C-alpha cells in the first residue's frame, strides 16, 4: 500500500503499531487467564468476580492500542518547523508563470464575480503557499504578456513574492499586443533547466485569453509537478481593448495536458486539498498537525488512565459482597 500524504502515511504506520500492541496484549491476557483460572476464588471470594470484570482484558487491549498508536505519532510529528539557513542551497523550487496582460484587470472573478482576475490569482497563490513547504523553497515569478521576463528569481522571502503579486502594474513593462501564454511558459521553463532534477513545482496562472503558440517537446528534468490555474468567468465575457475576453478553459486544459500537469478552474473555488497534497512540495497544514497531536496526547492519557485505575477498580469493586459483609455494613 502506497500512501503519499505524510499525515496519512504516519497514521497508517501508527495503526500497524497499534495492531501489534493489541496482538501482544491479547497473548498476555490469554496466558494470564490460564494462570489465574484456578486461583481467582482466592482473589474474588467464593462467589467469584462481578460480571463487569469480564471487560477488563478488553480494556487493557484498548489501552495498549491507544498508547502504542499515540506514542508512535507523537514521536514522529515535528514539534516545530525546522530552522532554515537561507544561505544554503534549498532542496526545492517553486516556479510561477503569471499572466499580467490587461485582461487580468477585468472584474469577473471570485465567488461573487466582482474582483479582478489578477487579484483572484494572488488569493489563490497565497492559499497554495500556505499548504506547501515554503521553508526550504526558492520562489521565482516570471511575468508574461506579449513577452516574458523574471520579476523574482530564487527568493526565500515570501513577503517579497506576495508584494509582487498584489497589484504591481507590470503590464506597462511590455509592448501592447496579444498575450503569448505559450511563450511565457517556455521562457519560465528556461530558468528551471539548471535546477536539480525533480526539485521544481510549476504553477501557471492565466485566463487563457491568448494566441496559439508552441511549447518545448520536453520539460526540464527539474519539473516534478505542474498546476495550471484558470481565472476569469468562462461563460460571460467582459470587454477589454475593443474585444470580448473570457477564461479559455479549452486552451488552459490543452496546456495542462501538454505539460503533464493538472488544470483547475480557480475563478470561484480554491484548489482542492487533494490536489495540493499530491504535490511533492506539499506538507501537512499546521492545523492538521495540531489536531492530530492533541488527539494523540488525549489517547495517551486515556490509555494510561485505564492501566492505572483498572487494578484499583478490580480490587475495590470487582469482588461480590458476601452475606456476612453485607450484614456487617448494614450494622
Contact 162, 127 (CB under 8 A): no
Instruction: Give CA 217 to chain center in angstroms.
Output: 32
Does the pLDDT at position 223 exceed 70? yes
Most confident of 238-242, 285-289, 300-304: 300-304
- The reported pLDDT for the residue numbered 64 is 93
14's CB contacts (< 8 A; 6+ apart) are: 68, 69, 70, 72, 73
Computed over its alpha carbons, how large is the radius of gyration of the chain? 31
Q: Could you tell me the residue ranges of all domains in the chain?
A: 6-79+287-330, 92-283
Q: Are strands 137-144 and 92-99 parallel, antiparallel or unpaired?
A: parallel
Q: How far apart are CA 291 and CA 27, in angstroms?
A: 33
In the chain, pLDDT over 90 holds for what percent of residues? 21
Could you please state the CATH topology (level 3) that the domain comprising 92-283 is classified under. Answer: Rossmann fold (3.40.50)
- The reported pLDDT for the residue numbered 274 is 72
Does the pLDDT at position 313 exceed 80? yes
- The reported pLDDT for the residue numbered 38 is 63
pLDDT tens sequence across 239-285:
877 788 888 999 899 889 989 899 999 888 887 777 776 676 666 55
Amino acid at each position: 500500500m502506497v500512501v503519499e500524504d505524510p499525515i496519512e502515511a504516519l497514521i497508517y504506520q501508527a495503526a500497524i503499531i497499534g495492531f501489534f500492541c493489541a496482538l501482544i496484549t491479547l497473548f498476555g491476557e490469554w496466558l494470564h487467564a490460564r494462570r489465574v483460572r484456578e486461583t481467582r476464588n482466592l482473589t474474588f471470594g467464593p462467589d467469584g468476580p462481578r460480571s463487569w470484570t469480564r471487560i477488563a482484558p478488553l480494556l487493557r487491549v484498548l489501552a495498549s492500542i491507544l498508547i502504542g498508536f499515540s506514542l508512535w505519532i507523537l514521536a514522529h510529528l515535528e514539534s516545530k518547523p525546522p530552522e532554515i539557513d537561507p544561505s544554503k542551497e534549498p532542496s526545492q523550487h517553486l516556479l510561477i508563470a503569471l499572466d499580467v496582460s490587461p485582461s487580468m484587470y477585468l472584474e469577473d472573478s471570485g465567488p461573487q464575480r466582482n474582483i479582478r482576475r489578477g487579484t483572484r490569482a494572488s488569493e489563490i497563490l497565497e492559499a497554495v503557499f500556505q499548504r506547501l513547504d515554503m521553508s526550504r523553497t526558492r520562489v521565482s515569478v516570471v511575468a508574461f504578456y506579449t513577452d516574458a521576463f523574471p520579476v523574482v528569481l530564487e527568493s526565500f522571502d515570501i513577503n517579497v513574492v506576495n508584494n509582487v503579486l498584489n497589484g504591481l502594474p507590470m503590464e506597462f513593462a511590455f509592448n501592447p499586443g496579444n498575450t503569448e501564454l505559450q511563450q511565457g511558459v517556455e521562457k519560465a521553463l528556461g530558468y528551471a533547466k539548471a535546477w536539480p532534477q525533480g526539485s521544481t513545482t510549476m504553477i501557471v496562472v492565466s485566463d487563457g485569453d491568448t494566441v496559439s503558440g508552441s511549447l518545448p517537446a520536453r520539460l526540464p528534468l527539474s519539473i516534478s509537478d505542474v498546476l495550471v490555474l484558470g481565472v476569469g468567468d468562462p461563460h460571460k465575457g467582459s470587454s477589454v481593448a475593443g474585444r470580448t475576453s473570457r477564461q479559455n478553459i479549452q486552451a488552459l486544459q490543452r496546456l495542462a495536458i501538454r505539460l503533464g500537469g493538472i488544470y483547475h478552474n480557480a475563478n470561484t473555488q480554491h484548489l482542492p486539498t487533494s490536489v495540493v497534497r499530491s504535490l511533492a512540495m506539499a506538507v501537512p497544514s499546521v492545523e492538521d498537525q495540531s489536531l492530530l497531536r492533541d488527539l494523540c496526547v488525549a489517547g495517551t492519557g486515556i490509555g494510561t488512565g485505564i492501566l492505572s485505575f483498572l487494578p484499583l477498580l478490580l480490587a475495590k469493586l470487582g469482588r461480590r459482597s458476601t452475606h456476612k459483609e453485607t450484614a456487617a455494613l448494614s450494622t
